[in-house]
Amino acid sequence: MWCERPDFRNGSKEKIKDYITYFEGTCELCIGNLGIQKYLTDVESIISKEAENDDEMNMLVYYIAGVIHYKISENEQAVDCWKASEKYARKLTDDIFLAKIFSYYAIIYYIEKDFDRSSVYFDEAASIFAVHKMYTELALHYINYLWYKRYDPDKNEVSAYLDMAFYYVQLSNSIMDARVYLHLGYIYKTIFNDFIRGIGYLNIARDMCCKNNNVEMESMTLHTLADGYMKLSHYSESIRIYEQLMTESRYANITENLKCAIMSNLIPCYVYIGDYEKASLYLDKMKQLSANTQVNARPYFDCLSNWLTAMIHIKKNEKLDEVLPLLSSCTNFCDKDSRPIQMDSFDLKLAESFGEYYEAVGDYDNSLKYYLMMEKLSEKYADSDKMNACDRLSSVYEKRGDFKTALEFKKKGTEYFNNIDRENILNQYDQLYKKFFKSIQDEQLKNLFETNENLTRVAYIDELTQVHNRLYYQDFTERFGKKGTYSVIMFDLDYFKEYNDNYGHLKGDICLATSARIVQETIPKDEYDVRCHFIRYGGEEFVILAENYSSDEIVALAEKIRKNVENAKIEHNFSKCSQYLTLSAGCSTGIFSNNAEMESLVASADRALYEAKKNGRNVVMHS
């Protein structure tokens, strides 16, 4: 640890001051469990000789004892120690240590929601630091407080505190400044979705860590960088960084706390790309390492392990009977423990997992309940989290057949996507990543982020048939469709239920995908998605919206599609009109200038389809 100086004798004031510098400037995850116990033992041995110590030593040793207890979430013990330190600071008229103690009191009262007392202590500490021009302490004062205040609804106040932290850290010159820049980068990235400014601060933090050989904080900076990639759904780059942290010798001695925190992100990355084997391997490793984490952190990591286990079961669609107890244990832990868990936005992730579970078992009512909860929770997080919540809701509403609401959430999600300046983020990540590892490929950078057009295209494509989905149809009349003459073909596969029931749903899916491909190939290539828009309307039912087609032209196209499907000779021994798969089609032609007119056109084609079925099927009718 960089605070250890072998030339200092045990119990010296210089050594205690070094402990203070270390604990004030280091994140909790970067402090090892054994290290904390060692320091606490040293400090308590000096406290036991309180009567023999001078007043300054007692002030220092009680103060650092309070900081150590605070770092392991023992707030009551911390306050007791600070009150003892305060007594000696007042006796010595040491304003600086009084301000340090007041700064921590402000946090404790904020956690306890005693905001008035918190504000009084915060202002008093800031005033003392400012009078003495203690810029490092002022920067840490704002950053420490912000760590708990960062999710406040009043983002203007949070932003003002960030500006103050940045202002004072520029005037400072301390090895503790890396922690300030790291947290500035984290908060701008996570809370304000300002990746560019966040990456700039992370870069400064990393440079300072290298200069002072502070490998733990450097690792935290990398962890924050990889988390940014993860929030942008670029999991391969997150994995690249996390794997180097887990395997390179430079980072071999980072604490078990930090390793477990890294794995709690790495495991979901592997889950999202479908590598469940790697995810499970790291989950086992995390469970083993958590036994060596700080005592107060172990319940957190146990909770995360349960959540990650549930996540893997959901994604693999196995052991679903074990999922609810695992997720419920996480909820119970969070309800009874007021301290923040060692993963950002865990409440959001937990709500998402509940929603995924209920979606997996087909309980869409409960799934919507948790996704709506997820949307509400996302209000305090980044645009990427809000976008994810909207996409989840859109998916379930689509499965329920409420395409209008599904489309509304899809549009909302796209708006959040557009708020992210992805090209500039790419450039900043490029610089930072190259500085860390010097190994990223230009071709990989080109593919780092999907374009907005790509995202929109995927949103409107039916996964099974790879044609447009019902969301596209819903949006067509509002944004995509040009006003004018349109013809509609509505068709479905004859006796498809009998096909599914007898050949099985897997073959049924193959049959649908094959039929859709035949129709795609029948539509002239230069007209597909230009004049002819092919949509899976629902189940085995499809629609073609054709611009500027006459009645004769649309009937001719429908007849050609019917013949091509029949000529494909897809065996259907359970059809009542042929030994092969066939389709029936209904056509209509009219003017489109608003939603109601398009619905009328589609309804007319649907009536013609009904007539086709009455006339023996495997025919085309025009209304």
Instruction: Count Cβ neighbours within 10 Å for each residue of 545-556 and write b for 16 or more, e otherwise.
Output: bbbebeeeebbe
Contact status, residue 292 vs residue 254, Cβ threshold 8 Å: no
Coil, helix or strand at residue 407: helix
CA angle 227, 232, 234 (to 5 degrees): 85
Nearest to 497 by CA among 602, 406, 412, 613: 613
484-493: strand order across its sheet: 532-538, 541-547, 484-493, 583-592, 620-622
CA angle 528, 530, 536 (to 5 degrees): 55
| Amino acid letter for position 23 | F
Q: Distance between CA atoms of 386 and 350, rounded to whole angstroms?
A: 15
Q: Distance between CA atoms of 316 and 275, rounded to whole angstroms?
A: 10
Q: Distance between CA atoms of 344 and 231, rounded to whole angstroms?
A: 11
Q: Which of 540, 547, 553, 566 is catalytic?
A: 540
Asked if 540 is an active-site residue, the reply is yes
Contact status, residue 103 vs residue 85, Cβ threshold 8 Å: no
Question: Per this entry, what is the length of the chain?
Answer: 623
| Amino acid letter for position 256 | E
HEC assignment per residue over 27-82: CHHHCCHHHHHHHHHHHHHHHCCCCCCCHHHHHHHHHHHHHHHHHCCCHHHHHHHH
Task: Put residue 214 in one of left, alpha, beta given phi > 0 → left and psi -120 to 50 → alpha.
Answer: beta
**Residues designated as active site:** 540
